[in-house]
Chain A
Amino acid sequence: MDAVVFWALAAGATVLAVAVFVVDSMARATFALLGSFLLAAGEIILLGLAYLGVVIVVMMIMEMVIMAVFMVMYMMNPAGLMPMSMVHNQRGALVIAGGVFAALAAGIFLIPWPTQGTHSSGADATFDLGKVLMGPHMLTMMLLGITLFATMIVTVSLAAARGRYDRLGDDLEGGSRQ
């Protein structure tokens, strides 16, 4: 049963991931990416990490809905009415991606992984994560918090419109304007 669920989710996640770069509209690409994330989160839940899986589901739905708005903003091909191809060096990219996949797959099957049986108990896993984040991995948690805070400042200051002081400096009459 688990195997059937795994292969269904895996096939769906991979197909949707490919669809991101195949479909004609950037809005459709966004929702294909959302589908890929949701199916991958299903795999994570299948592995026994119910909490993290649900966190990824909730976060990705919000993130992709916001992303869809930006996609529509920067979309050169609204509604996918015309075929869209915005790629450069496609052959090189395909070769590199295929090479990386071959190398990873070779590693996956050649390395003798130290498997020590499975571990599947969702409640314990969530408790462990909370305990480790508030204990030995407190530094990680603090760095993540600071990073997110810095991200807020950076994004606002980058995306804010240039005001007259940026354009003209102190000389508001525009004497030195170029």
Chain B
Amino acid sequence: MSLQVFLLLAAALFCVGVYGALSQQSIVMLMMGLELMFNGITVAASAFWAYVGPGSPSDQVVVVVAVVAMAVEMAVGFAVTTAIFRARDVDMTDMAADLKQ
């Protein structure tokens, strides 16, 4: 096994996440895309830990930060969804586009 194949897996997960975050209309489905992007980041950081710079613990710290960011993203995302749904019955991004201009 080599660093490249692990990074390739990470890139694949990240890009599926990019597609989801860009294309989904439902706010919760959009958040699943963001979670997939974080998933790719954890795999990439672990691969860096294993192959680049033998066992430096800073790479593990990146994984910890990514995991915390995932949890925060989901919690705040659902809170915002709930807030905008209570206020305006909106659960799709296109219906909340009045800040666009």
A interface residues, Cβ below 8 angstroms from B: 2-3, 6, 10, 13-14, 17-18, 20-21, 26, 29-30, 33, 36-37, 40, 43-44, 47-49, 52, 55-56, 59, 63, 66-67, 70-71, 74, 76, 86-90, 92-94, 96-98, 100-101, 104-105, 108-109, 113-121, 124-125, 128-129, 131-133, 137, 140, 144, 147-148, 151-152, 154-156, 158-159, 161-162
Interface residue from B14, B20, B53 paired with A104 (Cβ < 8 Å) = B14
A86 and B92 in contact, given A36-B39, A43-B6, A101-B11 (Cβ under 8 angstroms) = yes
Contact between B64 and A43, CB atoms less than 8 A apart: no
Tell me whether B3 is interfacial, beta carbon within 8 Å.
Answer: yes
Chain B hits for A76, CB < 8 A: 26, 91
Chain B residues near A59 (CB-CB < 8 A)? 67, 71
Given contacts A49-B60, A155-B79, contact A98 B15 (CB under 8 A): yes
Main secondary structure of the interface of A (DSSP, over half): helix
Say whether chain B's binding surface is mostly helix, strand, loop, or mixed.
helix
Min distance, Cβ B98 to any Cβ of chain A, angstroms:
16
Question: Are A49 and B49 in contact, with the CB atoms below 8 A?
Answer: yes
Give the docked Cα–Cα distance between A17 and B20 (Å). Answer: 10
Q: Do A48 and B50 have beta carbons less than 8 Å apart? A: yes
